[in-house]
Structure 1
Amino acid sequence: MSSSEPASWRTGALDLLLYTVAVAIGAVGWAAFRIARIAGATGPRVSVPATDIVSFGGEDATASGFVDVTVLAPATDALGRTWLILATLLVAVAIVVAMRSLMLIALAVRRGEVFSRRTTRALTTIGAALTATAFGWPVLDGLGRERALDSLGVPFEPLHVMDLIPLAPVFVAALAAAVLATAFAHGERLRRDTEGLV
């Protein structure tokens, strides 16, 4: 290993540290804005299937080129808003937890402790947070949207497996974190064995 590699690793770790802080702050800001909108007088925004003719302000308009439209649901009851707020909090908390774990990894790299129990635990935490979000968010959001659509008199269609496709990157990231956690655990054991031989 060349002498320049540790320095580049530490520089990259510092960049990752700053990035994670920015993302965590952004997630908290996004959650606060979304929760304020859900709890506000205008209610949550929900997507409804578009028909060939839609009505805006009492006037009909052709909408044959649209698959769905986003509308406000001010009559959504407290339970529906609660489900949507919980879905938002789940995503925000998962992002903050994942970013905190990445910060711990970055700090460990800056100390030169790449293969350590702390980094293995951090990767495991990232995988768990992403998995919980991928499975929990569609359920909580679906329960909230069902109540919102019911307040609009629009029938709710249960989640289809195709609706989970946008979450594929989250599942892939969770799997990658789990694989990396396993690899880092092996690396940690090898490091301890090597140190025991010295």
Structure 2
Amino acid sequence: MASPRPTSRALSRGDTVSLLLFLVAGVGLAVWAVVQSVATIVQALPNRDVRVAMPFLDTAAEAPLGPDGAPVPVELGAGAIVAPELPVASLWALVIAEVLLAVVVVTVVALLLTLTIGILRGQIFSRRNTAIVTTAGTVTLVGLAGVPFFQNMVANGALARISDYTYDRGPVQVIDLPVLLGAAFVAAVAGTVFSVGDRLQRDTEGLV
């Protein structure tokens, strides 16, 4: 029976160092995401003076940009407001958005770290790694679509509360379609590359 060729020799010392740095950065990113989400939820749960970031669409405002700080008309694209309180539904949407963000980041980082550890052990192409890459791509897409959706609910609730339900900011595209489609393309390509690589490796091992 043919024995598989070791794939660890495909990694240079520079590759190994880069992957180890990726491991450290991944752990740092996961910790940062959890800390930020927990801090945001803790600050918002009292439901008093909640700071909410939001996109605007065709919204006129004035900014002190003229001579001696004179007000100049500007068009807002994004900003932040402080709502005295949020409707209950919007407060829950904020919690869901932050929890989903943390879960997505931690899950994707954990999957990619598992993949990285496998590569460091010489397991580059395999069905397991293909499944990991595909799952990581799917979870990323869920986050890119789900987190902005709930964040928009928070923004709508904050504006409604501040304006006493009289402000209509019009339709806003909360999901960045180019980013979402780009991520979907990258995920599909990565899954295909690992799938083809696994098949080619098994075919090559069969010839040894």
Structure 2 match to 1:108: 118
Does 2:93 correspond to 1:83?
yes
After superposition, the C-alpha distances for 1:2-34 in whole angstroms (9 at most, x for unaligned) are x68433322222111111101101111111111
Structure 1 stretch 42-51 or stretch 73-82: which is displaced more? 42-51
Q: Which residue of 2 aligns with 1:45?
A: 52
* Structure 2 gap segments, 5+ residues each: 1-6, 64-69
Q: Percent identity?
A: 27
Aligned to 2:151: 141
Higher relative contact order (CA 8 A, sep 6+): 2
TM-superposed CA distance for 1:152, in Å, is: 0.7
1:158 and 1:66 map into 2 onto residues whose CA distance is 14
Number of residue pairs aligned between Structure 1 and Structure 2: 188
Corresponding residue of 1:35: 41
CA distance in 2, matches of 1:137, 1:150: 20
Out of 7, 14, 26, the position equivalent to 2:13 is 7
Q: Is the 8 A contact 1:102 1:122 kept in 2?
A: yes
CA contact (8 A) 2:83 2:162 kept: yes
Q: Which has the higher helix share?
A: 1
Counterpart check, 1:187 vs 2:197: yes
TM-score (norm 2): 0.78
Cα distance change of structure 1 residues 7 and 118 upon mapping to structure 2, 3 Å threshold? farther
TM-score w.r.t. length of structure 1: 0.81
Q: Give the distance between the partners of 1:107 and 1:189, measured in 2 at CA.
A: 21
Equivalent in the alignment of 1:94: 104
- Tell me if the contact between 2:61 and 2:74 (Cα under 8 Å) persists in the aligned partners: no
| In 1, Cα distance between equivalents of 2:125 and 2:114 | 12
Aligned CA RMSD, in angstroms, stands at 2.6
| Conserved 8 A contact 2:16-2:120 | yes
> CA 1:146 to 1:7, structure 2 compared with 1: closer, same or farther past 3 Å?
same
Structure 1 residue 192, shift from structure 2 partner: 1.4
Aligned residue type for 1:43: V
Contact 1:31–1:92, Cα closer than 8 Å, also in 2: yes
Higher deviation after alignment, 65-74 or 138-147? 65-74
The answer to whether 1:127 aligns with 2:134 is: no
Q: Tell me, what secondary structure is at the counterpart of 2:81?
A: strand
| Contact kept? 2:51, 2:80, Cα under 8 Å | no
Structure 1 or 2: larger strand share? Answer: 2
- Give unpaired runs (5+ residues) of structure 1: 54-60
State the one-letter code of the partner of 1:151: R
Distance, in Å, in 2 between the alignment partners of 1:89 and 1:117 is 30
Which region of structure 1 is more displaced relative to structure 2, 120-129 or 169-178? 169-178
Residues 16 and 185 from structure 1, CA distance in 2 versus in 1: closer, same or farther, beyond 3 angstroms?
same
